[in-house]
Amino acid sequence: MQKYQMYIGGEWCDPASNEWIDTVNPYSGEVWAQIPKGGAADVDAAVSAADAAFRSSEWRGLTATQRGKLLCQFGDILADNAESLAEIEVRDNGKLYAEVLNQCRYMTQWYQYYGGLADKIEGSVPPVDKPNILNLTKHEPLGVCACITPWNSPLLLLAWKAAPALAAGNTIVIKPSEYTSASSLEFARISQEAGFPPGAINVITGLGADVGEALVRHDKVRKVAFTGGEEGGRSVNSAAADDFTRVTLELGGKSANIVFDDANLDQAVSGAISGIFAASGQTCIAGSRLLLQDSIHDEFLERLLDMAGQARIGDPMNADTQVGPITTEPQYHKILEYIEIAKGEGATCVMGGEPVLAPDGNKGLFVQPTVFSNVTNEMRIAQEEVFGPVLSVLRFSDEEEAIAIANDIKYGLAAGVWTQNLKRAITVSERLEAGTIWVNTYRSTSYTTPFGGYKASGLGRENGMESIKEYLQTKSIWLSSGGSVANPYMRR
């Protein structure tokens, strides 16, 4: 069994507690590795190392171009390691290898994109309304940034944070989920090979309530980039507010996938399925509320059940598998609990609704792809994030009603719209309260495109040009070329 260490200040170290957490393969149900159970002392060591690196000539002395090149080289080395990183990630979170391998290859683009952006962050020279003054505006890094990631896509979601943070000249402390820490520790090993100075990248592991909270509360942490659930997001937001620490929060969702009667139904069925059953529904952007127009409701549902009913459940490493296991035991119980809640609320279970045994005697936890019809928007199954393969189907009569139902929820991460009517596509996209709207497609994201939530789905944006500003602060420099001495008792 593999026993991991944490990566602090360029060194591999055991936790101060000398305690370890078992990490379980969600498909086999077996413990395959142990990760350190860090605590406040480890957090302090990691943040101090990151702070020292931030002030060191090895890091601060790099020009923006050199820093950018280092990130690009890092991206290349990560790409060379994509297969082994993907295998580790599947062993940890049970997502399909085919999807995770794609993600691990794709995430290298974040290091290339932000590496390229590092030396294009320009300040300005405002035409200030004072005589004999040259006024300069420049953007500076913040210092130590904490990157806190969840278990569903650890390395991809880390790239969304680490790449802009480092490109902007910050140093980072990574805190992966206690369920899926191994790939971030491998990431640290690769960063060593890429030649980052000691302390520029650190990884600490352990529980959210100890290590995560201590990290957010550390007085030398200047920014927290957090992806996770609503409860964790709320406590990170309050803890950070105490010290005026900046935050980016990428939280949960309950996204509406809206199918109008003028849609291409074949594409829409496939989009609805990918919206909820890909990654076993364990994705923040899951289209977990399917809104069907009355006139196509029955036909669409029949087609969807037909296709989803054929999904192959099994070993995530197997190329034929379409639905893998549930990543964690608490998540498995939460999904089954929501299935019971939906039944109790009067929704009709038209597919699935039961746990499934893992194939070949494995001990993994599976839930059947599940569909509830006759869901109404006030039901908990329509309003709360399940984070599993459970679809709620609602009906609507016209555009107005579709928009009203879609927006009548506390979340606002994403939404899908299926229509061939351009005017409708534009109007509905503009009126939906969500950070990402997909029209006739679903579940696409890119390093080029801002991503984040409206309402309770988060604060700030990741990806795209604007995300680097989340890791910078602006300084104004006033340079006087002399002139007459002003009255010292008056503000200039």
Site residues (vs ligand NAD, CB under 6 A): 148-152, 157, 175-178, 208-209, 212-213, 216, 227-229, 232, 235-236, 250-253, 284, 385, 387, 413, 453, 458
Q: What is the C-alpha radius of gyration for the chain, rounded to an integer number of angstroms?
A: 24
Residue closer to ligand NAD (CB basis): 284 or 304: 284
Sequence letter at residue 335: I
Length of the chain: 492
Q: Mark whether 193 is an active-site residue.
A: no
Q: Which of 178, 284, 384, 385 is catalytic?
A: 284
Burial of 470 from C-beta contacts in 10 A (0-12 / 13-18 / 19+): buried
Helix (H) or strand (E) holding 464: helix 464-467
Can you spell out the DSSP letters for 67-123?
HHHHHHHHHHHHHHTHHHHHHHHHHHH---HHHHHHHHHHTHHHHHHHHHHGGG---
Report the residue number, 236 or 367, with the smaller CB distance to ligand NAD. Answer: 236
Task: Cite the DSSP H helix spans in 256-391.
Answer: 265-277, 294-308, 329-345, 380-383
Exposed/middle/buried for 491, CB within 10 Å: 0-12, 13-18, 19+? exposed
As measured in angstroms, the least distance from the Cβ of 171 to ligand NAD is 19
Counting DSSP H helices and E strands in the chain, the numbers are: 17, 24
Residue 79 Cβ vs ligand NAD, minimum distance, rounded to whole Å: 23
Measured between alpha carbons, how far is 226 from 233 in angstroms, rounded to an integer? 7
Could you tell me the smallest distance in angstroms from the CB atom of residue 28 to ligand NAD? 21
The least distance separating ligand NAD from the CB of residue 97, rounded to whole angstroms, comes to 19
- Give the nearer residue to ligand NAD in terms of CB position, either 315 or 385: 385
Is 140 part of the annotated catalytic residue set?
no
**Active-site residue, from 186, 213, 250, 384:** 250
Nearer to ligand NAD, 199 or 232 (CB): 232
Minimum Å gap between C-beta 43 and ligand NAD is 11
Nearer to ligand NAD, 307 or 459 (CB): 459
The nearer residue to ligand NAD, 212 or 287, going by C-beta atoms, is 212
Taking the complex as a whole, the smallest distance from the CB of residue 283 to ligand NAD amounts, in Å, to 7
Neighbouring residues of 52: CB distance < 8 A, sequence distance ≥ 6: 9, 199
d(Cα 469, Cα 462) in Å, to the nearest integer?
A: 10
CA angle 92, 35, 27 (to 5 degrees): 20
Residues that are catalytic? 250, 284
